[in-house]
Structure 1
Amino acid sequence: MNGAEWLARSLKESGQTHLFFVDAVLRRTLLELERVGVQPVLAHTEKAAVYMADAYGRVSGRPGVVAAQSVGAANLAAGLQDAYLARSPVLALTGHKPIGHQHRNAYQEVAHAPLFAPVTKFAAMVQEGADLPRQFRQAWAAAVSVPPRPVHLDLNGLMGEFVERGEAGAPPAALGSWRAPSHRPVAAPEEVRAAAAGLRSAQKVVIVAGDGAALSGCGAELLALAEVLQAPIATSLGARGIIPTTHPLAVGVVGNYSAPPANQVVHAAELVLFIGCDTGDQVTHTWRVPKPGTRVVQLDADPLEFHRSYDAEVTLLGDPRATLAALVAELGTPTRSPDFLRWAQGVMAEWRRAMAPRLTSEAVAIDPARLCAEVTRALPADGILVADTGYSGIWTGTLVELEPTQTYLRAAGSLGWAFPAALGAKCAAPGRKVIAWSGDGALYYHLPELETAKRRGIAVVLVVNNNSGFGQGWPNYLKQAGNRPKAAEQVLRFGPTDFAAVARQFGLKGIRVEKPGEIATALEEALDSEETVVVDVVTEIEARAPEPWTPEEGA
């Protein structure tokens, strides 16, 4: 069996259904994949292909596989940043010119290793077909181990052809059971006891669950612990929906991309329990929430996350789901005052009352808050919502309500990520409906993937929050421009573009929505379709998404 046959059959036997790529690479493998029933998905840019693989990995738990030839390696590496930051398992395959061509100004080639070093946790050069089985297994294992992250195999040959032609010398690998997270250790008993003692000693406890908690799937255990402690639960943006977002214990997303209640509640805590949370600037409102000096207990499967931003009085090294079960058992039924939780619930209820009129707004152009309410109602019970970065993340992360049976995927920072990611998510879960929320500014990045959706028959609902500009920065920039509004428009405004008409040019269905009352019908029609449908919603650029509560200086 040569390398091409081995790779194709190993992907098939490992449960992979798709491989995402940009030509020209692994052509022998691609033909073999088609033969064994794994679908090669040709994208129009390497970054789009990576974003597809990223979401495929997040939904399936297996590495999304993406490939590009030597000249595309730099573009592919750039696309891995989002997967790396989001702790997503991705297996990147590239070709490189043979050793005899290296360091001789080979056409279109730069050194690959420095490009991939910041965005992968494992990388290797594969020189021969015989090396492929060992390095493939090693890369796969690294991708799904804690923390899951991208890995890179650089194959000998411009298109990897030397590895494809060589003898593999091993039967195909079947690695489908190696999923993220690949191991679920329980924290040491002494750590669990110390954490329980710390939690019992504080009355104002808040839980902050992060992306690691979402990866662990610990929603039920999280609720059980919070009920014992009478503790509000805040989440990172990536953990949105780990518990029902309307649950009485939920106070929403905390940090820079939050509505006011979560920051206010976390800042008021006596003790914060971080669970699978990276404590970076976004989730802590640039390290202002919780306030300096707040007691911290930290549970994480990755020890490198301990003490990164806050000195923790207790750390628990273990899988969140397994360790939370042990912690609940250790806590028993302590006597707790409900006063702090009731206060937090009051803060949350007051904010919901304040936002309610916007959720039913009949304004034209449309308030995106109304669009959020309609997406909440339309998303099926097992649906997947894929959101872009910036304002797309804030709108959906604060105003779209979710259940744990649904899946929320968000960009870790790469504008334009959502639409190609939605295609990858649909490939991983063909039986589930997928809605992508993208701003028009983000969609311009990867608009040609509408052709990919049409050609491959991938059915998602692409909702475009179309305000003809970059809405997040618009009011502040307009203010800075003073008496030169035209200068501000030249920088942050574009269009107007009718994306429904654009969709039709690609042979897809497009629905233009200009009034709030039209949104529900458009979403229903789009979700009933078996092909990608663009729902182009004309929204108000002046509409402001919820803004985070910020403590006073020194508070």
Structure 2
Amino acid sequence: MTGARFLAETLREYGVTHVFFVPAIIRRALVEMEDVGIQRIISHGEKSAAYMADAYARVTGKPGFCFAQSVGAANLAAGLQDPYLGVSPVIAITGHRPPMHRHRNSYQEIEHSRPFASVTKYSAEVETVEQLPHLLRQAFREVTTGQTLPAHLDFSGISGDVITDGILDTDVIVEEPFTQRPAFRPGPEPERVREAARLLSQAERPVIVAGGGVTASGAEAEVVRLAEMLNIPVATALNAKGCIPENHPLSVGVVGSYSRWSANRVVSEADLVLFIGSHTGSQVTLDWRIPAEGTPVIQIDIDASELGRSYPAAYGLQGDARRTLEAMLDVLEPTGGNASWVSRAQEHVQNWRDEHEPVLTSNAVPIRPERLCQELTDFLPSDAVLVADTGHAGIWTGSMVDLTHEGQSYLRAAGSLGWGLPAALGAKCGAPDRPVVCWTGDGGMWYHIGELETAVRYGINAVTVVHNNGGLNQDRRGDEAAYEGREGGNPGELWRFTDTNFAQIAESMGALGIRVTDPNQINSALDQAVSANRPAVVDIVSDGDVAAAAPWGP
């Protein structure tokens, strides 16, 4: 068969349903993909294609695929930053000029290995069609094992045609474990499990911090079982938001820099912190201040190199999150302890709720973002996927929206503003029967607004909520501080945008557009958008003077 047919059949057999790309790349393979039933989604930019593949991969657990030709390869690499930081199983395919073009100033091409080196776990050149079978299978292995970081295959030919046009005498081989993450569930040493259980049982103020490894492993139920068995409060990273229902009496909220102060207070007061599937990076620990240096730590991670990276005295358990928690649950006994500690944690949570009640229920016009958060909490269906852009979108949704149903999911940008809209489309492709609602701001919406046309063209019926406050509101505080002590000047020039009606733009592209100026209209607008059976934009005219509070820190 041709390399094109081999690629298409392999993706189908591995369970891939959608691919995302910018032409012109692997043309003949795309023709074959139509023949085997794979949906081909053309985006309006390489970064968008990577973001779509990222969210598709996160919501399905299957590898997401994105493609770009030679001249777009560096743009695609830039888009892989988010799946890399979000530990997402994405496979990127690009084309490159054949060897005789190298080192001769070939038109529109730079050397590809360096742009991809910092955003992939594995990157390989495919120079002959005979290499395709084993390198493609290796890419699947890489993205579904250990830390499930992106992989990259660079096909010979400006559009990869040397590989897709070549002839192979081989069969399609599917290695079933590598069709989805985690491919394997390694377990920790039993003696270390027993010691970790002993430490956890003896702590007087233990707390669980659930990281992205919990959702990647599908260990949500085990986290809740452990918390209930030992009566331990649970804080989450943004990547694990919702792994415990946020109205659960042991839930204290998202911890770190995009957080509720209740979560930060609880973790800072703990005498033992159990990190599950967390990199213990700067965001979840508020620059390693929560917990403080010297606080006893137990850390569970599938990658041994992460154990003790930020807390060097951590007691480490190498293993898949779900498998490790199952082992701990087997050796632990239920306790009725920690009552006073849990009561204190619940007091922090209640104080946080009481403090924010006035703004969560505010009828102010322009609309306060906190009221939008409350409306989303009340509205989101029990199986909804909430997609959040970065910056204020991540802060507001992470700290103020409650996910209260086990069937709800939360996907967040790992750092790139503008990720939200294309990611919502990728998530909807991966979960077509679930409501997908994206929160982005006007700043984020402008990045890839052309993908509304993509949604309309393919009938990808995601709902995008635009928190439209007229600018890059998160920058305002710092920009105005930079002007302190100066007379005159125009700090607004650094962050303000023109007033734009995104509902009208959506309508002009063939999507449903709804503009909301009254907070009491939010619920009906969301209901209309989700029920419309077409791509929709809900443009929320919000208060540009309201900024998210700085995170609480010790």
Distance in 1 separating the partners of 2:487 and 2:185: 58
Report the AA paired with residue 19 of structure 2: L
Within the candidate set 504, 507, 512, 1:504 is matched to: 507
Report the AA paired with residue 491 of structure 2: A
Match in the other structure for 2:437: 435
Report the AA paired with residue 68 of structure 1: A
Match in the other structure for 2:167: 167
Report the AA paired with residue 34 of structure 1: E
Do residues 388 (structure 1) and 389 (structure 2) align? yes
Report the AA paired with residue 428 of structure 1: G
Query: Residues 45-194 of structure 1: matches in 2 within 5 Å?
Result: 45-174=45-174, 178-194=179-195
Match in the other structure for 1:243: 244
Within the candidate set 475, 478, 495, 1:473 is matched to: 475
Query: Residues 33-44 of structure 1: matches in 2 within 5 Å?
Result: 33-44=33-44
Shift of 1:333: 3.0
Match in the other structure for 2:225: 224
Match in the other structure for 2:459: 457
Distance in 2 separating the partners of 1:151 and 1:169: 25
Report the AA paired with residue 106 of structure 1: S
Match in the other structure for 1:537: 540
Report the AA paired with residue 104 of structure 1: R
Residues 181/312 of structure 1: CA separation in 2 closer, same or farther (3 Å cut)? farther
Match in the other structure for 1:257: 258
**Matched residue SS, 1:119:** coil
Shift of 1:447: 0.5
Distance in 2 separating the partners of 1:484 and 1:372: 38
Match in the other structure for 2:496: 493
Superposition RMSD in Å: 1.3
Do residues 347 (structure 1) and 342 (structure 2) align? no
**Matched residue SS, 1:252:** strand
Q: What does the per-residue CA deviation read over 1:194-214, in whole Å, with 9 as the maximum and x for residues that have no partner?
A: 101211221111111101112
Shift of 1:173: 3.9
Within the candidate set 527, 531, 547, 1:524 is matched to: 527
Distance in 1 separating the partners of 2:335 and 2:378: 38
Shift of 1:473: 2.2
Distance in 2 separating the partners of 1:520 and 1:215: 31
Distance in 2 separating the partners of 1:227 and 1:311: 28
Shift of 1:478: 2.4
Distance in 2 separating the partners of 1:206 and 1:188: 23
Distance in 2 separating the partners of 1:334 and 1:60: 36
Residues 484/23 of structure 1: CA separation in 2 closer, same or farther (3 Å cut)? farther
**Matched residue SS, 1:531:** coil
Q: What does the per-residue CA deviation read over 1:62-91, in whole Å, with 9 as the maximum and x for residues that have no partner?
A: 111000000000000000000001000001
Indicate conservation of the 8 Å contact 2:308/2:314, yes or no. no
Q: For structure 1, which segment, 9-18 or 514-523, has the greater mean C-alpha deviation from structure 2 after superposition?
A: 9-18
Report the AA paired with residue 341 of structure 1: V
Distance in 2 separating the partners of 1:497 and 1:7: 44
**Matched residue SS, 2:545:** coil
Residues 313/408 of structure 1: CA separation in 2 closer, same or farther (3 Å cut)? closer
Distance in 2 separating the partners of 1:256 and 1:485: 33
Do residues 412 (structure 1) and 414 (structure 2) align? yes
Unaligned runs of 5+ in 1: none
Do residues 300 (structure 1) and 301 (structure 2) align? yes
Residues 152/484 of structure 1: CA separation in 2 closer, same or farther (3 Å cut)? farther
Distance in 1 separating the partners of 2:503 and 2:21: 27
Shift of 1:474: 1.3
Match in the other structure for 2:204: 203
Match in the other structure for 1:425: 427
Indicate conservation of the 8 Å contact 2:231/2:336, yes or no. no
Shift of 1:176: 6.2
TM-score normalized with structure 2 length:
0.97
Distance in 2 separating the partners of 1:36 and 1:49: 21
Match in the other structure for 1:287: 288
Report the AA paired with residue 431 of structure 2: A
**Matched residue SS, 2:284:** coil
Shift of 1:193: 1.0
Shift of 1:162: 0.5
Distance in 1 separating the partners of 2:549 and 2:406: 23
Indicate conservation of the 8 Å contact 2:231/2:335, yes or no. no
**Matched residue SS, 1:208:** strand
Do residues 32 (structure 1) and 35 (structure 2) align? no
Residues 247/486 of structure 1: CA separation in 2 closer, same or farther (3 Å cut)? farther
Match in the other structure for 2:551: 548
Indicate conservation of the 8 Å contact 1:15/1:176, yes or no. no
**Between the two proteins, what is the percent identity of the paired residues?**
49
Shift of 1:476: 3.8
Report the AA paired with residue 319 of structure 1: D
Report the AA paired with residue 495 of structure 2: L
Distance in 2 separating the partners of 1:42 and 1:486: 44
Indicate conservation of the 8 Å contact 1:394/1:546, yes or no. no
Q: What does the per-residue CA deviation read over 1:367-397, in whole Å, with 9 as the maximum and x for residues that have no partner?
A: 0111111112221111111000010001001
Do residues 448 (structure 1) and 450 (structure 2) align? yes
Q: What does the per-residue CA deviation read over 1:9-63, in whole Å, with 9 as the maximum and x for residues that have no partner?
A: 1112222111100011111111111122111111110000100000011111111
Distance in 2 separating the partners of 1:85 and 1:392: 18
Distance in 2 separating the partners of 1:137 and 1:255: 38
Indicate conservation of the 8 Å contact 1:62/1:176, yes or no. no
Indicate conservation of the 8 Å contact 1:306/1:312, yes or no. no
**Matched residue SS, 1:343:** helix
Shift of 1:107: 0.6
Q: For structure 1, which segment, 535-544 or 221-230, has the greater mean C-alpha deviation from structure 2 after superposition?
A: 221-230
Q: For structure 1, which segment, 214-223 or 533-542, has the greater mean C-alpha deviation from structure 2 after superposition?
A: 214-223
TM-score normalized with structure 1 length:
0.97
Residues 146/376 of structure 1: CA separation in 2 closer, same or farther (3 Å cut)? same
Report the AA paired with residue 272 of structure 1: V
Shift of 1:134: 0.9
Residues 267/195 of structure 1: CA separation in 2 closer, same or farther (3 Å cut)? same
Indicate conservation of the 8 Å contact 1:259/1:547, yes or no. no
Distance in 2 separating the partners of 1:486 and 1:540: 23
Distance in 2 separating the partners of 1:216 and 1:517: 39
Indicate conservation of the 8 Å contact 2:64/2:90, yes or no. yes
Indicate conservation of the 8 Å contact 2:307/2:314, yes or no. no
